[in-house]
Structure 1
Amino acid sequence: MKNKLTEAQNLVLLQKEKFLVRQALHNNADAFSLLVAMNKKRVEAVGRKFFNDITDIEDFVQEVFIKAYKNLSSFKGKSLFSTWITRIAFTTAINQKKSFKITDSFEGQEDFLPSYYDSPENEQIKALTREAINEAVQTLPENYAVCIKMFFYLDMNQEDISEMTGIPINTVKSNIFRAKKILSEKLGGLL
């Protein structure tokens, strides 16, 4: 089940982020540091989906926050800062994709595996399942793979995926549906 913020929580977060952005625009380094701390895990998660090497991920995260800082004045506050920074992260990752291959690592994504795999004696089964899923995701057409990774790996809803990628919402829905169908056929009853 996806963890959604209530409308009131979303409004409070939006106001907090707007305040921190205003402070950062007035050269308050602590305010920008707070924005970084609040969003670093999200940006790292995007990086892990696109890059294999930890150094590449760290460089990517740094580049995203540098871009965000340089373009902070363009943040209008119509959406959450986290949405804006994630959009920057995806745009940066997609632009760098020509020199880096997308990582299909399922590390840290054990939520997708049935709970009966949790026992220590089933670690090998868990690893084989993860490997099978990774291999199946790698075979997806790129437009399906991007949407399904954002949907499952990053726990994003279809509207956010559309907003982040610029892909029309109905195309996102279709890509996710088709990716699920292909994965289901390839993996049989594995999931």
Structure 2
Amino acid sequence: MKIQTQSLERTVIEKRDKALIRSACKGDHLAFEKLLRLYENRVRILGLSFFKNEIDTDDFIQEVFIKVYKNLSSFKGESLFSTWLMRIAYNTAINAINRRKEYLSLSEDFELVDLDFGPEEQELRKHTKAAIQAAMGELPDRYKACLDLYFFYDMSHKEISSVLDLPINTIKSHIFRAKKILRKN
């Protein structure tokens, strides 16, 4: 039943996003603003995981949504809009980090709360996040990126593959190896 509900929710979200994208591409600024409001928190959390401060994160969000606005007509709908958006956001963050030559992982100063989960699951996720963060310092950057998207954004292997532009088996391997390192620690 849960899988059917998730599938139905995904279909509804996909249809909503496609309708908003069509409207935004026709010049409806309110439709684009609605997309921005729907996904700004996801982009903000990703920004905070890289930059750890509000000023740089706000600049990052603005840069991401400018890129999305300029390229919205190129969205083909082959993946979910959220996957396409997160790929733009991730690449923008990586480019910014490469310019700075530093990488910061998930901040301990913010909480990732997903209202789709009940209080027990949120509490479990909070403790899982804390445990993973404590050990993530030992991981290579490529493993950190996969785990961030897998655990904290609930992305599938396929979605992570699309965001990071890596083969699915590489994603699976990175996650497997990262978990192995975390178990050791």
- Smaller-chain TM-score range? 0.7 to 0.9
Q: Secondary structure at the match of 1:45?
A: helix
Q: What root-mean-square deviation, in Å, do the aligned CA atoms of Structure 1 and Structure 2 show?
A: 2.3
Q: Structure 2: 5+ residue runs without aligned partners? A: 113-122
Query: Distance in 1 between the 2:97 and 2:5 partners?
Result: 32
Match of 1:113 among 116, 127, 131: 127
Aligned residues: 170
Q: Which has the larger radius of gyration?
A: 1
Q: 2: distance between equivalents of 1:80 and 1:160?
A: 9
Match of 1:157 in 2: 156
User: What's the CA shift string for 1:43-86, capped at 9, x where partnerless?
Assistant: 11211221111111111111111100010110112222111111
The residue number in structure 1 matching 2:133 is 134
Aligned-residue sequence identity (percent) comes to 43
TM alignment of 1:37-186, pairs within 5 A: 37-98=37-98, 99=100, 100-106=102-108, 107-108=110-111, 111-113=125-127, 130=130, 133-186=132-185
**Do the aligned residues in 1 keep the contact of 2:44 with 2:61 (CA within 8 Å)?**
yes
**Does the Cα contact within 8 Å between 1:150 and 1:156 map onto a contact in 2?**
yes
Q: How far off is 1:11 after superposition?
A: 2.5
Deviation, 1:167, is 1.1
Match of 2:93, SS state, is helix
Q: 1:177 to 1:88 in 2, by over 3 A?
A: same
> SS state of the match for residue 97, structure 1?
helix
- Deviation of 1:143 (Å): 1.4
**Structure 1, unaligned runs of 5 or more:** 115-128, 187-191
Equivalents in 1 of 2:12, 2:18: separation in Å? 10
TM-score, normalising length: structure 1:
0.79
Amino acid at match of 1:142: D
**Normalising by structure 2, what TM-score?**
0.82
Contact 1:162-1:169 within 8 A present in 2 as well: yes
| Cα offset, 1:133, TM superposition | 4.5
